[in-house]
């Protein structure tokens, strides 16, 4: 099956005071229709940067320095900005990190969703037509009809997140990117949003790209997982494979940091230290300073990502 999105050797820099900081380096991943891929890793590992680049929405100081972003056979990086508008929102839509707090406070939710519908290029949709389509969208995301005419302050966090998802779905994309959609929500609401994403994937055949730092979320809703560390791929494969057979010491430590229902009294592990700042990236493996398996080679040679098993990729000198 040809992936709907195929990201190849993607590298992204931020320019700061004339210096190029390598935020993302040589990332590869694919996603098929009707599948979900989680991007996980600690704060600052480049999750949001990667997702923004897919829609070519990086801030002015961000630069895609190499790689390909192939959507259904077309490299989005080869398109002009005008051509790119055909793809952004229509084919691939994003719920930005923290966006539920950025709803317009003085506009009704239904009007805000209608505006997203009117954003569709080429199909001239009147305000009246758009408002009539709002009903379908709010039904899909589970907002009761009588609530749609309310204002954002009358919505709970979970309802606001549903409204954001409705807006992202307004142009009927094939790929939905959700950047930490459940962070700052309580566990019950979190479960509801996750099951909504799952049903969109199942019922609408959407490809879902979920950004999170919560492995519990990944285990619950995703098919595949890409573990990032310091802007690079640490490990990549199906959720079953990565959770049952984690090979990168970073993934192993991340998994140990989560409670195990079969062994609830076990102490949770933590990973001492912190990910490297972009201006002090180690020469060799980026995880080396925090790794319990490190040897001399890890200090000087950056490990290349390679197949551990078919479809299970790991970048570690000691993955065996």
Ligand X SMILES: Nc1ncnc2c1ncn2[C@@H]1O[C@H](COP(=O)(O)OP(=O)(O)OP(=O)(O)O)[C@@H](O)[C@H]1O
Which positions touch ligand X (CB under 6 A)? 14, 16, 21, 23, 41, 43-49, 59, 61, 97, 213, 278
Task: Find the Cα–Cα–Cα–Cα dihedral 262, 270, 236, 232, rounded to 10°.
Answer: 170
Least distance CB 190 / ligand X (angstroms): 16
Q: How far apart are CA 72 and CA 6, in angstroms?
A: 8
> Among residues 47 and 286, whose Cβ is nearest to Mg ion?
47
Name which of Mg ion, ligand X, none residue 45 binds, using a CB cut-off of 5 to 8 Å depending on partner kind.
ligand X
In the complex, the residues that contact Mg ion under the rule CB under 5 A are 47-48, 97
**Contacted entry of ligand X, Mg ion, none for residue 55, CB cut-off 5 to 8 Å set by kind:** none
Instruction: Identify whether the C-beta of residue 174 lies closer than 8 Å to the C-beta of residue 86.
Output: no
CB of 226 to ligand X, least distance (A): 12
Residue 246: contacted member of Mg ion, ligand X, none (CB under 5 to 8 Å, by partner type): none
Cβ proximity to ligand X: between 44 and 289 the closer is 44
CA distances from 309 to 125, 231, 241, 246, 316 (A): 50, 23, 9, 11, 14
Instruction: Give the residue ranges of DSSP H helices in the chain.
Output: 47-54, 81-84, 109-118, 127-141, 157-168, 187-204, 215-221, 239-244, 249-256, 296-300
* Closest approach of Mg ion to the CB of residue 69, in Å: 18
Q: Which is nearer to ligand X, 253 or 308 (CB)?
A: 253
Dihedral sign (CA 98, 102, 105, 107): negative
Name which of ligand X, Mg ion, none residue 160 binds, using a CB cut-off of 5 to 8 Å depending on partner kind: none
Name which of Mg ion, ligand X, none residue 8 binds, using a CB cut-off of 5 to 8 Å depending on partner kind.
none
Parallel, antiparallel, or unpaired: how do β-strands 175-179 and 207-212 relate?
Answer: parallel
- Please give the residue whose beta carbon sits closest to Mg ion in the complex: 48
């Amino acid at each position: 099956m040809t992936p709907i999105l195929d990201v190849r050797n993607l590298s992204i820099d931020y320019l700061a005071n004339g210096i190029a900081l390598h935020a993302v380096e040589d990332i590869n991943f694919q996603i098929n229709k009707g599948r979900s891929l989680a991007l996980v890793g600690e704060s600052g590992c480049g999750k949001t940067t990667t997702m923004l680049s897919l829609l070519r929405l990086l801030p002015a100081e961000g630069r895609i320095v190499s790689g390909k972003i192939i959507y259904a056979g077309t490299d989005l990086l080869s398109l002009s900005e005008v051509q790119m508008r055909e793809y952004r929102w229509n084919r691939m839509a994003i719920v930005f990190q923290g966006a539920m707090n950025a709803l317009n406070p003085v506009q009704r939710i239904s009007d805000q969703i209608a505006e997203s519908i009117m954003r569709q290029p080429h199909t001239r949709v009147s305000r009246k037509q758009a408002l009539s389509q709002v009903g379908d969208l709010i039904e899909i995301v589970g907002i009761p009809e009588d609530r749609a005419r309310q204002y954002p302050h009358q919505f709970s966090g979970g309802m606001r997140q549903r409204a954001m998802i409705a807006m992202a779905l307004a142009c009927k994309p094939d790929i939905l990117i959700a950047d930490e959609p459940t962070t700052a929500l309580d566990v019950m609401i979190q479960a509801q949003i996750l099951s909504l994403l799952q049903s969109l994937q199942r019922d609408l055949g959407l490809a879902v790209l979920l950004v999170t730092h919560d492995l519990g979320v990944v285990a619950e809703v995703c098919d595949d997982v890409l573990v990032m560390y310091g802007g690079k791929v640490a490990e990549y494969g199906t959720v079953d494979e990565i959770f049952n057979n984690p090979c990168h010491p970073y993934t192993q430590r991340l998994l140990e940091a989560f409670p195990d229902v079969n062994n609830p009294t076990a102490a949770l592990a933590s990973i001492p230290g912190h990910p490297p700042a972009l201006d002090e990236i180690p020469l060799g493996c980026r995880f080396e300073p925090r790794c319990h398996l490190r040897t001399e080679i890890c200090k000087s040679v950056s490990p290349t990502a390679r197949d551990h098993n078919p479809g299970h990729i790991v970048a570690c000198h000691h993955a065996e």
